Structure 1
Amino acid sequence: MMDGELGAFLRSRREARRPAEVGLAEGPRRRTPGLRRAELATLAQVSVEYLTRLEQGRDTRPSPEILAALADALRLDSADREHLRQLASAQHARQLCSGDRPTVSRTVRPTVRAMLDALRDTPAYVLNRLGDVLAWNEPFDLLARPLGLLDGSRPNLVWFVLTDERAREHYPQWSALADQQVAELHLLRRGDPASDAFAERLARTAGAPFVDRWQRRPITAARTGLLTVRHPAAGLLRLNVEALELAEADPQRLVVQLPADAATANALDELAGRRPGRLRAVAG
């Protein structure tokens, strides 16, 4: 899938952009959900034939000037523009170094594990770019294991959210969480075939809840924010989430979950067998 990702991303943004948003009339009998190719070609001052080749993956080396023109015509935000630039750069790099493929990290440095243990009161864990939960501390085990997230020998957050029915029960804002997980997966692909193979397995297992999101090519993923969890033992928890990039050749993230209110702080203390008052709520 990555071979045609540049064109697929452009097409997804063209189909998502309403004509009125770029100063065009909607007009009758419109079959295309967004802009027609001819409309975008006119706005970007490129030929329809060339735009078709780009979207179909038959031309993968557009100039920076053409990319900028397409981005301007589509009114892309800064996140989409940066992703478009990265896709073009990744394609160029793959053509220059076709045998050089990034690998997906499966191990965590001892110093990172020590950091997790040092966060002895606060749930924390480490993810790789596919959403594999590589390591975690005891507070996160107490929080996540009753949900089913840590079942199996290789727990994966994306897989759990998109394929496990328990996720819809435990996450009241499941749809927003699913959007965020798919956006992270898109954002961190980095040209690795393993990411696309994982996405294909997800598509076969999860079906439309994943495929519909994947085809929209979301890439704006909030790495901080409020997560609400319906815990079978601790009740409703409100957690402020912070995700920190680790210094790895392949992206890893240290994710820390902090109680967002006093009730959650007390519930986490009780879950860990502590007297309430050890944890303090942290405003988002």
Structure 2
Amino acid sequence: MDKRELGAFLRSRRERLRPQDVGLPSGPRRRTPGLRREETAVLAHISTEYYVRLEQGRAPRPSAEVLAGIAGALRLTDAESDHLHVLAGTAPTRTRLHRRDVRPSILALLERLPRTAGFVVSAAFEVLAWNDLAAALMEDFAQLAPEDRNLARRAFPGPEHSDTPLYGISDAAEFRHQVVMKLHATLARYPTDPAVTGLVDELRDTSPDFARLWERRDVQPAPMLTKTFRHPAVGDVTVDCDTLTLTDRDQHLVLYSAPPGSPGAEALALLNVLGAQASDHLY
């Protein structure tokens, strides 16, 4: 049970709600945003004292029934409710360290994919494996040290690398928000993994944007269905974006493809010919 993070998450969800969102009168002007603690407690069918202690990180582990009541009171989504249970220690957790070894069958699949850029990322956004077209579209990850293959670091490079481009993608702001949301969930699953905790601490210290988004404690990213890369060698490359979850290792296989005959497909075909050297000196 992560008492401190559980309390902060509850507070952030409570403060985003308005009384009218849960069927309560707005009443006189309020000094703080969102629902009052006593209102949340009434809606969750628990005592105000106990709810206050939960937000302050002083309460014992709540039962599944109490968490369900709080989730209903705060109008949590399924993803937020799952996150609440993980923080409270009432949901199954994975091994202490997140996995970085990629299944051999996935490595083989990457090489067999026709006209598709594909790569595998860990729960902490480390690029673990990739095919040639992904290297040509993004960068040649083989030329980077393992710690520099992290897409979260690429998204929030810190002030000394603030001019580092994020592969020219059209949805950079949305991607950064998604990174923060997913890292919140990753930290809840691996609270003692030094690679995860160290990454989060580093980004909070070096990136004001990351720190600001982190305090929002959003945990349900919107799916990214299409993405446009502004590639210096071939111009704009618009692709379909599909992410497949590899549940046994808590990894994701990301695939960028384009419909046959589309400008995006033609650009990918050209990149396939040019190879990774097309972007080696550009990113």
* TM band (smaller chain): 0.7 to 0.9
Question: Does residue 145 in structure 1 map to residue 139 in structure 2?
Answer: yes
Structure 1 CA distance, aligned partners of 2:51 and 2:230? 47
- Counterpart of 1:66 in structure 2 is 66
**In 2 relative to 1, CA 89–237 (structure 1 residues): closer, same or farther, beyond 3 Å?**
same
| Contact 2:19 2:26 survives alignment (8 Å) | yes
- How far, CA to CA, are the matches of 2:133 and 2:28 in structure 1? 58
- Give the corresponding residue for 1:49: 49
Counterpart-to-counterpart distance in 1, 2:112 and 2:167? 31
- C-alpha contact (below 8 Å) 1:188/1:251 kept by paired residues: no
Q: 8 Å contact 2:3–2:87 — kept in the other structure? A: no
Tell me how far apart the structure 1 counterparts of residues 226 and 143 of structure 2 sit (CA, whole Å).
21
Contact 2:120 2:254 in 1 (8 A): yes
Kindly state the Cα deviation for residue 186 of structure 1 after the two structures are TM-superposed. Answer: 1.9
Q: Distance in 1 between matches of 2:197 and 2:26?
A: 35
- Residues 109, 87 of structure 1: CA spacing in aligned structure 2 closer, same or farther, 3 A cutoff? same
**DSSP-derived class of the 2:138 partner:** helix
Matched residue of 1:273: which SS? helix
The whole-number CA distance in structure 2 between the counterparts of 1:145 and 1:172 is: 17
SS in structure 2 of the partner of residue 68 of structure 1: helix
Consecutive unaligned residues in structure 2, runs of 5 or more: 275-283
Q: CA RMSD in A?
A: 2.7
Q: Which residue of 1 aligns with 2:31?
A: 31
Task: Answer whether contact 1:243 1:255 (CA < 8 A) is retained.
Answer: yes
Deviation, structure 1 residue 160: 0.7
Answer with 215-224 or 154-163: which moved more: 215-224
2:115 matches 1:121 = yes
Cα drift, residue 93 of structure 1: 6.7
Question: Which residue number in structure 2 is paired with residue 204 of structure 1?
Answer: 205
TM-score by length of 2: 0.83
Query: Quick check: 1:105 aligned with 2:99?
Result: yes
Correspondence for 1:97? none
The code of the aligned residue for 2:250 comes to: P
Pairing partner for 1:183 from 181, 184, 194: 181
1:103/1:273 CA distance change after superposition, 3 Å: same
Which stretch has the larger CA shift, 176-185 or 25-34? 25-34
SS state of the match for residue 76, structure 2?
coil
Partner SS, residue 257 of structure 1 = strand
Aligned amino acid, residue 273 of structure 1 = V
Letter in 2 for 1:219: V
One-letter code of the match for 2:146? S
1:83 shift after superposition: 2.2
Q: Secondary structure at the match of 1:172?
A: coil
Matches of residues 71-86 of structure 1 in structure 2 within 5 Å? 71-86=71-86
Q: Following TM superposition, by how much is the alpha carbon of 1:116 offset from its aligned partner in structure 2, in angstroms?
A: 1.2
Q: What's the secondary structure of 1:243's corresponding residue?
A: strand
Structure 1: unaligned runs, 5 residues or longer: 95-99, 275-284
Q: TM-score, with normalisation over the residues of structure 1?
A: 0.83
CA distance, structure 2, for counterparts of residue 169 and residue 143 of structure 1: 8
1:135 aligned residue: 129
Higher RCO (C-alpha 8 Å, min separation 6):
2
1:129-181 per-residue CA deviation (whole Å, 9 max, x = no partner) reads 000001111000001118x9975433111111122543467122221111111
- After superposition, the Cα gap between the structure-2 partners of 1:265 and 1:169, relative to the gap in structure 1 and judged at 3 Å, is closer
* Counterpart in the other structure of 2:217: 217
**Separation of aligned partners in 1, 2:105 and 2:241:** 22
Deviation at 1:267, TM superposition (A): 0.8
Does the 8 A contact of 2:153 with 2:203 survive in 1? yes
1:247 Cα deviation after fit:
4.7
Q: 1:114, 1:153 → 2: CA distance?
A: 21
Decide which moves more: 70-79 or 167-176: 167-176
Question: d(CA) in 2 for partners of 1:80 and 1:25?
Answer: 25
CA displacement at 1:54 relative to structure 2: 0.8
Mapped partners of 1:33, 1:172: distance in 2 = 33
Q: Which residue number in structure 2 is paired with residue 158 of structure 1?
A: 152
